[in-house]
Structure 1
Amino acid sequence: MYKLAFACFLAGMTLNVQAKVDPSQAARLGNDLTPQGGERAGSPDGLIPPWNGGITRPPAGYQKGMHHPDPFSNDQPRLVIDKNNLAEHADSLPAGLQELVRNNPEYSIRVFPTRRSASAPQRVYDATRTNATQTELISRGNGVEGATAGIPFPLPQSGLEVIWNHIMRYRGDQVRTYTNHAAVLQGGKYSLLKRERDILFTYGQPGLSEKDLNNTLLYYKYRVLSPAALAGTSLLVQETLDQILAMRKAWRYDRGERRVRRLPSLAYDALQPDTSGMATADVVDAYNGAPDRYEWNLLTKQPMVVPYNSYALHQKGVPYDEILQPAFVNPQLLRYELHRVWIVEANLRTGFSHPYHKRRFYIDEDSWQILAVDLYDKKGELIGLQESHSINYYELPAFFSTLETIYDFKRKRYFVDGLDNNEPMYDFDVELHPRDFTPSALRREGN
């Protein structure tokens, strides 16, 4: 019934670049819709509760600099899905998650009570409502015009608009992190690579106008801290909003050569440096960059079992060996919940190459965070699964991933990024400036 109603809604919409809505529709934000465009009401069966503001303040005893304590630590699973009852729940599971269970009979999915914890600052809500009546897609959908600070399309009418909501969602103003990533090979062998990362989110900064953005979404930089063989290597990215108008720029500092080199391309299917060839450039943050190489189709919106409120996976002191099991992330540390998600399918355009010819995205209605992605090859075969295990960083507040995973079903391996359990916690108060994200700054820091 839900799918039918949504299909009727889509049939009445004109799916073109005209995305802004009239004020009467925008007035729904903060009323029957959440301030960012989700449905405020719960589901008829009661499994999805109403949204009541999400987490708006840290739990008692929390201090900045701590790993975020689990506000739902007393919850118990209401359902466990495994090989024995997988078929019974297949309609509510991403295809990739079903395949993970089939490939690993010992894997189980613990489904907890749904907690709609996502929230954002009031200024982001206010900007989102303004954006609803003035934001449009430009450059054939490869850019956005008329948006500042908030979600650009809180009442989306196309798959492209949903993806732009993910790309432009609020994740704080700036952050410094210390995290590890690992390529876990068949059999379970892995090595950790530790990085210090700085991100300055230009879009979303308080007080900035669209003109002030100068087509810049964010600045990104990392420095490898270990292993010793790679320590000192660093990468810099200047990320544009419209990457057709101006492509992202990237530079890499090589410790051995002691020089900065401009990278000819760090986008689309180009392999990320230092990831053992297991991660393309566009899988960071589940999806990033220009959307021009795919056809984007908005399929439906429906309740699905997805990773959510992954605080147990994030807790301080958990050994990385306990997290990284030979074939998958330890399911006893994972939390899944039933949430309404937008389902968007991306199909590779003719003339382009990518290991992922089709992707199916599951995007949270409350935060616009991509929570899961089914990955298909050119033959239409399901070859992988991405998951974003997310929490509310309640000192901001903002909801986004703490650990990202990519499963490679063919090679029986997986990649994880964001291991932070035994590192200093994210610093959202670090002072960063655009001058810190230039090739000369990269060179200076490397010497």
Structure 2
Amino acid sequence: MKITSVTRVPALRMLASLLLVLVGTNAWAGLTPEEAARLGKDLTPVGAERVGNADGSIPEWTGGLTSPPSGWKPEQGYIDPFPADKPQFVITAQNADQYKAKLTPGVLALLKKEPNFRMPVYQTRRTAAVPKEVTDLAKSQSPKVELQGFGMGNVNGSSIPFPIPKQGVEVVWNHLVRYLGGGFERTFNWFPVRGNGQFYTVGFYEKRVYDQYMDRQQDNRLFNFFGYFTEPATLVGTAYLVYDPVDQVKEARSAWMYNSGSRRVRRAPDLAYDNINDGTESMRVNDQYDGYNGAPDRYDWKLIGKQETYVPYNAYKLSDKSLKYADVVHKGTINPDLMRYELHRTWVVEGTLKSGQKHIYGKRTMYFDEDSWTLLYEDAYDTRGQLWRVGVHPLIQFYDAGVPWYRATIWHDLTNGNYLAAGLDNEVKQPWKFGVKGRMAEFEVNALRRAGH
């Protein structure tokens, strides 16, 4: 007995040490087989609740919008598949209290601050859908994915690594790696808008191809990014090349920049976190591109839970090719008659800046669409705890590609009335392309020099 007791003590100590290591590194395994079996049953294939809500204002998900309107052609832009829909009511500063339980603090602040901001609310249409092969891979891989601290392992190309999230950072990762067509190519515009309504146009070309759609795959590579400015003249000749890792904590983002003025390529380690995006008048930092991107390691992410929220959704009116940008970009806000809000369930995640870390935002509250894992709202607070900037990012279903993605991304600055509207293409003739394949030769440093000339 004494021998048994002596041998048990080291074993218990070893077990305790192992548990401390696991807790210290926040190591978490993937879904159980029972959890994974729920996907495609009581949960949708991406992990959302299939059923509607109790009063029917949120309907059941029945597969999403998976085909374009009859006779549609890409050069038309993404026309509204619901042209007969009319607003059920409009939320304004005067009646906001009636709806505040389903409004974010940022939206409430915008309603109070900006007299032209209002929210036409339409019937809810759960249009989000991604291809079956994407959700099949996510389901098969979900028991294998691991979260270690802020990094991931065994993702194996899954676009939905955590379909049943248990931590806030898992929801953030779902957004970071969500399906965007495998690869895409687009030209679009953004507009820094001053408080007096004056704005100018910035043009940008972007090609982004995810690793599994490249001719040669790279270890720990999420996607390859290549982009350059098309206007104004002061920015033309500036181009970027970015390699984004899957695990951005294990391996930092690699980025390069070419400027025709200096005629040289340089490494761009500052193309991340809270460094300012060129051409945005300081209204968007690097990790707010595409809603939110990059390594999530500077924040502690708390999963607040799920709630019903009036969110910008199915905003197809913003795609209308007959509109000029002056019809869209108004003083204080995007033309509210072109916006569409619906009631959807959102995952709410709060990021608090970790001690010793640097970022201009001390806290960020994010609202993610349960049907697509897309960030739809961000309330960004300064380091004193004051609400500073509000992100309002309307979603559409790109029905020819099986991609739920942004129709625009908009950031409002509550301190000065300025805002930035990005992702618009009303005056762009070239259709966006999805399902684009890539060659590594297109994503080499020499490509920057060629684009800058």
- Shorter-chain TM-score bucket reads over 0.9
Match of 1:148 among 127, 151, 157: 157
Match of 2:431 among 425, 428, 436: 425
Letter in 2 for 1:74: A
* Cα displacement (A) at 1:223: 1.6
Give the conservation status (yes or no) of the 8 Å contact 1:268–1:280.
Answer: yes
Query: Does 2:12 match 1:20?
Result: no
Of 84, 88, 91, which aligns to 1:78?
Answer: 88
Distance 1:429 1:137, change over 3 A: closer
Q: Find out whether 1:438 has 2:448 as its counterpart.
A: no
1:363 equivalent to 2:372? Answer: no
Q: State the SS of the aligned residue for 1:351.
A: coil
CA-to-aligned-CA distance 1:240-280 (integer Å, 9 cap, x gap)? 11122221111111112222111132111111223222211
2:54 to 44, 51, 69: 44
What one-letter code is carried by the residue in structure 2 that aligns with 1:83?
A
Contact 1:59–1:71 (8 Å) recurs in 2? yes
Corresponding position of 1:338 = 343
Alpha carbons of 1:37 and 1:431: their partners in 2 closer, same or farther (altered >3 Å)?
closer
Spell out the pairing of 1:199-278 with structure 2 (5 A cutoff).
Answer: 199-202=208-211, 205=213, 212-278=217-283
Paired residue type of 2:56: G
Sequence identity, in percent? 38
| Counterpart secondary structure, 1:432 | coil
Q: Structure 1 residues 334-343 or 217-226, which shifts more? A: 217-226
Matched, 1:130 2:140: yes
3-state DSSP of counterpart to 1:124: helix
1:222 shift after superposition: 1.2
Which of 370, 375, 383 is residue 378 of structure 1 equivalent to? 383
TM-score by length of 2: 0.91
Distance in 1 between the 2:446 and 2:350 partners? 40
Q: Which runs of 5+ in 1 are unaligned?
A: 1-13
- Alignment coverage as a number of residue pairs: 429
Q: Which residue of 1 aligns with 2:77?
A: 67
Amino acid at match of 1:437: F
Query: Offset of 1:63 from its aligned partner?
Result: 2.3
Secondary structure of the 1:196 match is strand
**CA deviation after TM superposition for structure 1 residue 390, in Å:** 1.2
Post-superposition shift, 1:230? 2.3
Query: Which residue in 1 is equivalent to 2:168?
Result: 159
Structure ID, larger Rg: 2
How far off its partner does 1:101 sit?
Answer: 0.6
Q: Check the 8 A contact 2:350/2:365 in 1, yes or no.
A: yes
Indicate conservation of the 8 Å contact 1:17/1:141, yes or no. Answer: no
1:285 aligned counterpart, secondary structure: coil
* Corresponding letter in the other structure for 1:425: P
Contact 1:144 1:242 in 2 (8 A): yes
What whole-Å deviation, never above 9, does each CA across 1:321-371 have from its counterpart, x for those lacking one?
Answer: 111111111111100000001000000001122221111111011100011
Residues 1:173 and 2:158 aligned together: no
1:185 aligned to which of 194, 197, 209: 194
Secondary structure of the structure 2 residue equivalent to 1:322: helix
Query: What's the offset of the Cα at 1:431?
Result: 4.6
How far apart in 1 are the matches of 2:347 and 2:156? Answer: 21
Q: 5+ unaligned residues in a row in structure 2: which ranges?
A: 1-22
What's 2:5 paired with? none
**Structure 1 equivalent of residue 299 of structure 2:** 294
Instruction: Provide the aligned C-alpha RMSD in A.
Output: 1.8
Asked if the contact 2:159–2:179 (Cα under 8 Å) also holds between the matched residues in 1, the reply is: yes
The answer to whether 1:413 aligns with 2:418 is: yes
Q: Provide the residue aligned with 1:401 in structure 2.
A: 406
Question: Does the CA-based 8 Å contact 2:215-2:440 persist in structure 1?
Answer: no
TM-score between the two structures when normalised by the length of structure 1 = 0.92
Of 114, 128, 132, the residue aligned with 1:104 is: 114
| 1:391 maps to amino acid | I
Structure 1 pair 351–89 and aligned structure 2 pair: CA distance change class (3 A): same
Letter in 1 for 2:266: R
> What is the CA–CA distance in structure 2 between the aligned matches of 1:173 and 1:290, rounded to whole Å?
20
Contact 1:131/1:151 (CA < 8 Å) preserved in 2?
A: no
